[in-house]
Amino acid sequence: MQTLDFPNKTYSKILHIPSLGLGLVLLICLASPTSSCTEQEKGSLLQFLGGLSQDGGLAVSWKNGSDCCQWEGITCSTDDTVTDVLLASRSLQGHITPSLGNLTGLLRLDLSNNLLSGGLPQELVSSSSILIVDVSFNRLGGELHELSSTHARPLKVLNISSNLFTGQFLSSTWQGMKNLVALNASNNSFTGQLPTHFCASSPSLAVLELCYNQFRGSIPPQLGSCSMLRVLKVGHNHLSGSLPDELFNATLLEYVSFPGNSLQGTLEGLHFGKLSNLGTFDLGENNISGKIPESIGHLRRLEELHLNNNHMYGELPSSLTNCTNLITIDFKSNNFSGKLAKVNFSNLSNLKTIDLMYNSFSGEIPESIYSCSNLIALRLSSNKFNGQLSEKIGNLKSLSFLSLANNTLTNITSALHILKRCRKLTTLLIAFNFRGEIMPEDDMVDGFENLQFFSVDGCGLFGQIPQWISKLANLKILILSNNQLTGSIPAWIKTLSNLFYLGISNNSLTGGIPTALMDMPMLNSDKSEAHLDPRAFELPVYYGPSLQYRVPIALRNVLDLSNNKFTGQIPLEIGQLKALLSLDFTVRLVKQ
Ligand SMILES: *[C@@H]1O[C@H](CO)[C@@H](O)[C@H](O)[C@H]1NC(C)=O
Ligand SMILES: *[C@@H]1O[C@H](CO)[C@@H](O)[C@H](O)[C@H]1NC(C)=O
Ligand SMILES: *[C@@H]1O[C@H](CO)[C@@H](O)[C@H](O)[C@H]1NC(C)=O
Ligand SMILES: *[C@@H]1O[C@H](CO)[C@@H](O)[C@H](O)[C@H]1NC(C)=O
Ligand SMILES: *[C@@H]1O[C@H](CO)[C@@H](O)[C@H](O)[C@H]1NC(C)=O
Ligand SMILES: *[C@@H]1O[C@H](CO)[C@@H](O)[C@H](O)[C@H]1NC(C)=O
Ligand SMILES: *[C@@H]1O[C@H](CO)[C@@H](O)[C@H](O)[C@H]1NC(C)=O
Ligand SMILES: *[C@@H]1O[C@H](CO)[C@@H](O)[C@H](O)[C@H]1NC(C)=O
Ligand SMILES: *[C@@H]1O[C@H](CO)[C@@H](O)[C@H](O)[C@H]1NC(C)=O
Ligand SMILES: *[C@@H]1O[C@H](CO)[C@@H](O)[C@H](O)[C@H]1NC(C)=O
Ligand SMILES: *[C@@H]1O[C@H](CO)[C@@H](O)[C@H](O)[C@H]1NC(C)=O
Ligand SMILES: *[C@@H]1O[C@H](CO)[C@@H](O)[C@H](O)[C@H]1NC(C)=O
């Protein structure tokens, strides 16, 4: 009988205890005021709401009568203390009231991507609970407060980027931030020097972003004592002086970037070997001189190397071959020279972008470049490369952007036959080469099916506008200016239905202006699909010394027929072209 009795007892226990528990829970919910956020917290939040001139609909749920833990954007802990105020991207306008600093359990405050103005209340930065403050992308301004006492604050992440803050970065502001891990103050108007003792007060600092401000002076060597620092971005300020070697004591650095400053000096003698974690090194647009040191080869993890727009010179060091993880090399606008052959590009198979434009490299393009099978963009323009293009460039099956313009390459017929094997090519710029050769006439039907931008100007080429161009169905921009082409504008030109930029000025073209031109779809519509193509060029295209076009849509509709030997009438229809933004031939036509 015992065996029957026993299960019965268990049954009653199971039934009884949970039902009692449920009753208790219900009782607490109905009777106890501690199940809701406190009146004080509610008051602090309602004060914040009151400071908004545009609340993005918050007031609908933020009602005094209800539990503020249930309000939109509010999260509470299990004991009903407000822990999170998360109100990013809600079109909030108005001021941030200091009352939020009275939420004594607040851990995270996210007001990013709104239109808030006024200052950042000191109470938030010096709060004794908040870990994360993100007020980025607003219109907050004024200076950061000096914090009166230096007691340790728990704040770990402060993102005040993309606002209108001004004034200096005073060490007194940062002294109490003993726990700061990430500071993003980019894209404001901060002035003065970088604080020297950041990491003495914030030893945990791992991310420091101060781009797009007006900081001056030199890079403090003391940053080297930031032993936890991984990301250091201070681009687009007015920093001067040289890169201190002490910085390389911060051996965890993964990202070092100072583009767009006035840094001087050379990289020689810097202890690159210490930065074994470095993935990005960007000193572009400064005033760095000297050579790239052999020691760069120690950066085995390097993926991005930007030294563009400086005054560097000399040959590239052979040790660059050791940086086998490189994805991007940007050395444009320096005065590097020599044959490139010291670098064995065969080992750099991860490369996707090589930009060596505006240097003094000479000799033939090294064959080893053609084993970088992942290459998407290759720009060797404005150097002194010579010789014929190698067959092997056809191995670059991912290549989409190729600029070889302004070198002294020869044999355009051979070059085009080889290049048509790069089936992904969308941009091919070979202007200012092949001087005085003949424009190949033979059929290239099978190639260049993806070509959108083709420029062969300034070559002094003889011959005619070749028939094979009519097969380039995706062509949007065609520039054949500054050659010695003869014959007339072919009637098939109107079949290039995507073409919106045609430059054939400075040739010896004859005949009348064909009415076929007037039928070109691009010239009749300003809502062309080509113009709306959002895809960017892999590299910004430079045209002339200063203009640069980043996307095809930035180029306007242009029909440039100037300086030819056309005869006859300007077709009446010209005046009816709706979409033509730039038309350059009438004046010169009249002069003839
Ligand atoms: C919210 O309600 C309480 C109690 O009803 C009241 O004391 C308080 O003033 C109200 N707060 C606001 C901001 O209306
Ligand atoms: C914060 O709370 C204190 C006391 O609870 C009060 O005196 C003070 O006015 C509050 N501050 C704000 C900005 O609401
Ligand atoms: C603000 O900065 C922090 C730390 O760098 C980052 O985690 C957060 O995503 C940033 N906020 C925005 C809106 O980008
Ligand atoms: C800088 O801030 C402005 C205003 O918030 C924003 O429009 C712009 O995109 C930001 N620029 C960058 C580089 O983040
Ligand atoms: C830092 O701020 C800048 C400008 O607002 C932004 O572009 C960048 O993504 C931010 N960095 C992080 C890690 O959120
Ligand atoms: C930091 O770097 C400098 C120069 O490279 C060196 O002399 C110094 O000993 C280093 N300091 C520490 C603490 O490693
Ligand atoms: C660049 O550095 C050189 C010294 O290396 C200096 O003479 C020159 O004035 C600097 N140029 C700029 C624009 O800062
Ligand atoms: C580059 O690698 C080679 C072969 O592994 C080695 O002999 C050379 O010392 C390395 N150079 C640098 C600067 O790391
Ligand atoms: C660039 O380097 C070449 C070759 O080393 C040299 O002849 C030339 O003078 C340099 N040009 C400038 C502007 O420094
Ligand atoms: C370049 O590297 C490749 C692959 O590691 C190797 O086969 C080739 O011999 C090297 N070329 C030269 C000239 O060292
Ligand atoms: C051609 O390249 C040379 C050498 O880099 C440069 O000085 C010149 O400005 C370039 N010409 C054009 C039209 O870009
Ligand atoms: C151009 O290259 C082709 C193929 O390599 C060759 O047959 C031809 O002779 C070359 N032409 C000139 C003028 O060198």
- Work out the burial of residue 459: count CB atoms within 10 Å of its CB; fewer than 13 is exposed, 13-18 middle, 19 or more buried: buried
**The tokens 């239905």 sit on which residue?**
497
DSSP secondary structure letters along 283-313: --SS--EEPPPGGGGG-TT--EEE--SSEEE
The Cα 544–Cα 417 span in angstroms is: 28
Q: Mutate which of 156, 158, 186, 189 to test ligand 5's pocket (most atoms within 8 Å of Cβ)?
A: 186
The pLDDT value given to residue 494: 86
Tell how strand 82-86 and strand 74-76 pair up.
antiparallel
DSSP type of residue 17: H
Model pLDDT for residues 343-387, shown as the tens digit of each residue: 999 999 999 999 999 999 999 999 999 999 999 999 999 999 999
The pLDDT value given to residue 447: 84
Tell how strand 547-549 and strand 541-543 pair up.
antiparallel
Q: Is 162 in the pocket of ligand 5 (CB under 6 A)?
A: yes
**Cβ pair 139, 164 in contact under 8 A:** yes
**Cβ pair 307, 329 in contact under 8 A:** no
Closest by CA position to 400, among listed 444, 453, 333: 453
**How far is ligand 8, taken at its centre, from the CA of residue 506, in Å?**
52
pTM, full prediction: 0.88
Q: In this structure, how many other beta carbons lie within 10 angstroms of the beta carbon of residue 514?
A: 16
The Cα 566–Cα 48 span in angstroms is: 72
**The tokens 């050769």 sit on which residue?**
437
* Ligand 7 atom closest to residue 264's alpha carbon, by position in its atom list: 2
Q: What residue owns the CA closest to ligand 7's atom 11?
A: 287
Give the N- to C-terminal CA distance of the chain in Å, as an integer.
123
Q: In this structure, how many other beta carbons lie within 10 angstroms of the beta carbon of residue 14?
A: 10
Q: Is 546 left (phi over 0), alpha (psi -120 to 50) or beta?
A: alpha
Report the residue count for the chain: 592
Q: Mutate which of 36, 63, 64 to test ligand 1's pocket (most atoms within 8 Å of Cβ)?
A: 64
DSSP type of residue 59: G
Read off φ and ψ for residue 431, nearest 5 degrees: -60, 160
Tokens of 146: 């000096």
Closest by CA position to 285, among listed 253, 265, 259, 303: 259
**Cβ pair 222, 246 in contact under 8 A:** yes
* Ligand 9 atom closest to residue 314's alpha carbon, by position in its atom list: 5
Closest by CA position to 125, among listed 113, 106, 116: 106
**Cβ pair 385, 361 in contact under 8 A:** yes
- CA dist list (Å): 192 to 91, 143, 167, 170, 186: 32, 12, 8, 9, 14
The pLDDT value given to residue 556: 66
**How far is ligand 8, taken at its centre, from the CA of residue 215, in Å?**
38
The pLDDT value given to residue 508: 93
The Cα 529–Cα 550 span in angstroms is: 17
Q: What residue owns the CA closest to ligand 11's atom 3?
A: 382
Q: Mutate which of 411, 420, 421, 461 to test ligand 12's pocket (most atoms within 8 Å of Cβ)?
A: 411
Which positions of the chain have pLDDT values less than 50?
1-34, 530, 532, 534, 544-547, 551, 553, 578-579, 581, 585-592
Q: What residue owns the CA closest to ligand 11's atom 2?
A: 382
* Ligand 6 atom closest to residue 246's alpha carbon, by position in its atom list: 2
Domain coordinates in residue numbering, the chain? 433-592
The pLDDT value given to residue 75: 96
Q: Is 54 in the pocket of ligand 7 (CB under 6 A)?
A: no
Q: Is 287 in the pocket of ligand 7 (CB under 6 A)?
A: yes
**How far is ligand 5, taken at its centre, from the CA of residue 101, in Å?**
25
Q: Mutate which of 96, 102, 103, 126 to test ligand 2's pocket (most atoms within 8 Å of Cβ)?
A: 102
**How far is ligand 6, taken at its centre, from the CA of residue 6, in Å?**
76
Task: Determine which helix (DSSP H) or strand (DSSP E) holds 410, and give its type and residue range.
Answer: strand 408-410
**How far is ligand 8, taken at its centre, from the CA of residue 300, in Å?**
10
**How far is ligand 6, taken at its centre, from the CA of residue 252, in Å?**
15
DSSP type of residue 1: -
**Cβ pair 489, 514 in contact under 8 A:** yes
Q: What residue owns the CA closest to ligand 12's atom 5?
A: 414
The fold of the 433-592 domain, in CATH, is 3.80.10
Q: Is 186 in the pocket of ligand 8 (CB under 6 A)?
A: no
* Ligand 2 atom closest to residue 99's alpha carbon, by position in its atom list: 13
Tokens of 285: 């647009």
Tokens of 74: 């509010």
What are the residue ranges of helices labelled H in 32-120? 39-50
The residues with which 282 forms a beta bridge, in sequence order, are 257, 306
Q: What residue owns the CA closest to ligand 7's atom 4?
A: 264
Burial letters 478-510, b for 16+ CB under 10 A, else e? bbbbbbebbeebbeebbebebbbbbbbbbbebe
The pLDDT value given to residue 38: 92
- CA dist list (Å): 207 to 108, 147, 180: 18, 22, 9
**How far is ligand 1, taken at its centre, from the CA of residue 555, in Å?**
60
The pLDDT value given to residue 32: 43
Q: Is 432 left (phi over 0), alpha (psi -120 to 50) or beta?
A: left
**Cβ pair 458, 481 in contact under 8 A:** yes
The pLDDT value given to residue 507: 94
